[in-house]
Structure 1
Amino acid sequence: MRSLFRRPFNTTSRQSSVNSRRFDLPRLAGLTCLMFVLSMTVVTTTANAGLGLGNQGAVGGVMIDPGGNVRAATLQEQKEMAETVRAAIQGPTGDLADATGKRVVSLAKLQQALREMHETGGRLDDETAFLAGLQRIEYVVVDEENNDILLVGPAEPWEVRADGAVVGKQSGGSVLRLDDLVAAFRSVEEARREGGIRCSIEPTAEGRQRLRGFLKNVKLRPGQNPAFLEAGMREAFGPQMVTLAGVAPDSRFARTLVAADFEMKRIAMALTESPVKGLPSYLEMAKNKRQSAAQSPRWWMACNYDAVARDADGQVWKISGQGVKTMTEEDIVAADGSVESDGRKDPLAVKWADTMTEKYDALSKERPVFRDLRNVMDLAVIATLITQEQLDQRSGIDLNVLRGGDSLIETAHYVLPQSLAPQCSFIHGRAGWTVTASGGVNINAFGIVENQVEQPELQTLVSVRDADHSSRWWWDGK
């Protein structure tokens, strides 16, 4: 991987890279299909952004313009993006070229490696940016003997997809990212204050009012296709607002939430073709069904984990479960455009949500943004577990580097759009129009961590400790 201080965006960034005592996580960390819903204005802070790829317009099969408007990227644009990413990273070598079911990451040694990079002006290499190819973190081990915390999970060599996403060669799942781990640690206390990490893309009350007025004047003749009205309906509806809470809004973590929410609704509302057999759009399922103009289905993605298992001494912890589920309820739209919910659920919307949950793993392989969402949920749960259970204090490790207390790591910063062009669909049923436009992501990591069960047999996992006492920050366990 190229030096972090190479190929600056501008002379200001070049100068700051010389004067700064910090290094940035590379802009490579954002080079996935996550960019497609975002205005790609990049804010560089104290150090050069590194690879200088943040201003690319096409990624993940979608092209964006400076105003945040989106369209399908051409095959040529996707090819160019993949070539850019491939030129920026190196393929895994040595042990990293082999898949394993139990790769171990030492947080103590990882932090030491980051300190050494900082002190020597070295490079943040691919194995660090991609956390040694981890696909998931299944276990957290408290290593009091070495004042360490170990993260354990399956890992694979990585490759670049045709759309520029970096995924495991065997599973096709997005790899875990160092800057998402950093964002997860740094968001714990903010998420505690905010009651979790949340994202939503919502229409405004004024837009709902304008749409209601527009539809009052619409008279369809029997058998007339309402498709010709959609341009006017979208214009009346207006832009949708992006809101984030519990995590830094300029982080890659936050971009993942926005992108996954956006893509979920595009699939639900038939704004893009579903890539998975057996997962039709909600609009397809709702054809010719009775619709109500006063109600609108909302979908959001939430955590879907088993109870967190631990051994009797709280030295070994296991995190399992699919990770993500899709949920729904009905929005009740008032005359002034405001909405509320009384907990009612449309059976068809429930069926669509359940189907997406069932097909989530398959969907994640076709659209890596959904695996990225599971990854950041996993990391939020891990960071919350370590903080809430004070595992760092029990092990004697100081996580100041990852938590940002010493300002050693400067992560990439991106300006998120405050609004997006309307992404919504309209169903004209026997009882009127239904508008489907709302959704979001909700990560309640504290609720996951509080749900615990004891499994004494987990103690056997102490074998993953580094018996050879190597200087490398990762190794493969037995």
Structure 2
Amino acid sequence: MQTFIRRVSRIFVFFNKLCLAGALICAMVFPVTANAQQQGGGQQGGGQQGGGQQGGGQQGGGQQGGGQQGGGTGSQAGGSGIVVDPQGVLRVLTMSDSKLNRIRQQSSVEQLPRNLRRHSKLRKIALGRLEANLTNALESGNELPDEITNLAGLTQIRYVFVYPATSDKPGEIVLAGPAEPWVEDSFGRSIGIKSEAPTVQLEDLVAALRVFPPGQPSDTLVGCSIDPTQEGLASMQAYLQRIGTV
């Protein structure tokens, strides 16, 4: 029993130190959050809290749950970045500029091939042609163009058409689904201009084909395991022994 109590005490000491370390990291990483919340002169987060009417049922321009508190489109940290609210929730805040977004979207669309600049309810991609384009790019040493890595702007794969081979034509598998022009968001992710849905990535399609190979129809789950190494386990035990003697 005494051995069990000592182990529990060590665990509590470890987690107390871990929480303290986390608090110190947050204090070093997010110092700007507290400074950016200007509480002098009736302003908080780059704007007036609730437009100066906190008691009138308005707080944060009527938008607090959307990650915005104060001054309509102004963010609580006074600009783009991150903020930790009083409940300890970390949010990513951005200030959108509709005019700048339109210019950026128009520029992105103009760089796409003409046949990909319009929305399509059902765009089709032949895997045979896709494989041929990949082979040509690899053999020539060129980077894959965006229309290939983004699968021509597909936002979903709704249908898979299988065309059997004939005497004069090889068989083909065709993926089909809604598609639209795409643009990179502030995090570098490709999303549809209209729906803002992420585009289907070539690398995700390849990963899915590798995970679910032919002959294994029972596979219905994709997962991974995090397996510590023996060196890592030994280091962890040594660390626990050190903090247990403090």
TM range (shorter): 0.3 to 0.5
Larger Rg: 2
TM-score with structure 1 setting the length: 0.24
Of structures 1 and 2, the one scoring higher in RCO (CA 8 A, sep 6+) is 1
Q: Which has the higher strand share?
A: 1
TM-score with structure 2 setting the length: 0.44
